[in-house]
Amino acid sequence: MHPFEAPGMTLGPGSQPSESDGAELSYLQYPSAMQTYQPPILPEPVAGAASSAGLDFLGRLLEQIRHYRVGEPSLVMDAQGLAAPDRHLVAQALGEGEVSILFAAGSGLRVQETRLAGVWVVQAQDASGRLVSDTLEIADIPRCVRELAFQGAATSASLGQDAELPEGVLTARSVLAELNEAVPAWRVGELPYIVNLTLLPHTPQDLAWLEQRLGAGPLTILSRGYGNCRITATGLRHCWWVRHFNSDDRLILDTLEVVDVPTAALAAREDLEDSAERLLGIIEALA
């Protein structure tokens, strides 16, 4: 009897014989990077009254986070009255988070989520660039987003005539007709009405025509986490274009959503609870 010998086995790309027609297996490239929470680099507490004022501000912020409930009006804390050392302490303690909100030129607004989800820095400048407002807002999304996203937006988009459609536009007109029906019927508080472009047959000309017909709204929300998400207000009321990319910057989900603000941009209850725990740890480290 001869001892049993298992043949060598090699798995993975290149390990299998080539097909007779020359075709090769194509393997999906998995995401290679993911942004996760990184604790801010905390400064040494400043001595005296400055340290006391900064820590007191963070303590009051913690109470506001604990008090806030998603869906309620946002809670606002004015940071402009803090002395420079205290503002520096607060800024370093909170850091900069994953979500940025970009407004059209001339708005004078800057909105950035801190490392604490649901805690936002909201600043306003006048025409000369002078800072006129500097607040921290505890909310699922700052109130200015809902107030400004569709100010003056249209209630329907023109479908044009069949003869006017550029060559290569195949399905975009039916998508726009669907949105024109959904927008007047949708009410705040209802579930979003979603058109999943990823699942629909379309051409690059379809997407270009849709962008031209929908127009651009006054703000874009950028979220960086597991890949990136770009959420753009269109010129059609309550209609957002939401694009999800993986860590290789490949588009993996492309939707049009009729809703006040897409869920992908909102801080959830669990996010606020986690933020409260993290802020408590920061305060204890600074005390």
What stretch(es) of the chain map to CATH 3.30.1370.140?
49-140+268-286, 162-265
List pLDDT tens digits, range 151-208: 999 999 999 887 688 999 999 999 999 999 999 999 999 999 999 999 999 999 999 9
- The CATH fold assigned to 49-140+268-286 is Ribosomal Protein S8; Chain: A, domain 1 (3.30.1370)
- CA distance readout (Å), 145 to 100, 139, 173, 216: 12, 11, 29, 15
How high is the pLDDT of residue 224?
86
Residue in the block written with tokens 């909102």: 266
Element housing 253 (H / E)? strand 251-258
The verdict on pTM exceeding 0.95 is: no
Q: Which fold has domain 162-265?
A: Ribosomal Protein S8; Chain: A, domain 1 (3.30.1370)
19 burial level (CB within 10 Å; 0-12, 13-18, 19+)? exposed
- State the 10-residue block means of pLDDT for the chain, 287 residues long: 44 50 47 53 51 91 97 95 92 94 92 97 93 96 96 93 84 96 96 97 95 96 86 98 92 97 95 97 91
Tell me what pLDDT residue 21 has.
Answer: 53
